[in-house]
Amino acid sequence: MIGTLINVVTIVVGSLLGVLVGSRLSARLRETIVAGLGLFTLGYGLLTFIDTQNPLVPLGGLLIGAILGEWWRIEDGLEKMGVMLRRAVIRNDAQHEKHATFVEGFVTASLVFVIGPIAILGSIQDGLTGNYEMLAIKAILDGFASIAFASTLGIGVAFSALSILIYQGAITLLSEFFSQFFSTAMMTEMTAVGGLILMAISISSLLALKKIRTGSYLPALLVTPLIVFILETFFGGL
């Protein structure tokens, strides 16, 4: 839960800074900072992948996961869920015009921070291994995003930290429960494929080099440990 708690703090602090000084930050400065974070995320993803004991395992998990993700249309589902939730909340609050900006800030920030592969990936890693580095990276990204959101949408952005606490906290606790069923090799290879997904997020969202449907790769987090389990059970290991 440490990673999630760090994430909560950075969102609150970033929101407060956004309300106070966010409007003074130029668009060019924001873009440069995000690009720097993108480069760091790309490098961190590469370092995470290097820990693999057999590169073919995360490759197989990624490809099979991508097939399942596109078959189940996970990326489209995440996007549609975000749009539906935002419309529902904003519409229901339309009668209270004075709260409209607050609600929009809360909903918009919550969807950006919650609906995405890195929230799920980092929370699972934190729960299975106790390693919260990935969530710490997400916390920094969300902190800077909070500054930008709060500068225009107000203090409602800070309350999106509650969504993070509930959502990521639940995934972390659930993963911690299932960690007893994961071998060291399964965790290592799942983390490696997570590094590949992290690099995809960097290339697609932060560096904006090429649009990648990163949500479609989420099944790889389940497929990769399954491949390791099969190899360990029937072939004696990796």
Taking only the tens place, the pLDDT of each residue in 113-132 is 887 778 988 999 899 888 89
pTM of the model: 0.83
- Return the percentage of the chain with pLDDT > 70, whole number: 93
Longest dimension (CA), the chain: 64
Rounded CA-CA distance 5/161 in Å is 9
Tell me how many degrees the CA angle 109-1-150 measures, rounded to the nearest 5.
20
* Extents of the domains making up the chain: 2-234
Taking only the tens place, the pLDDT of each residue in 50-90 is 999 999 999 999 999 999 999 999 888 877 776 776 676 66
Rounded CA-CA distance 34/147 in Å is 12
**Helix axis angle, 133-153 relative to 117-129, nearest 10°?**
140
Token match 């490696």: residue?
192
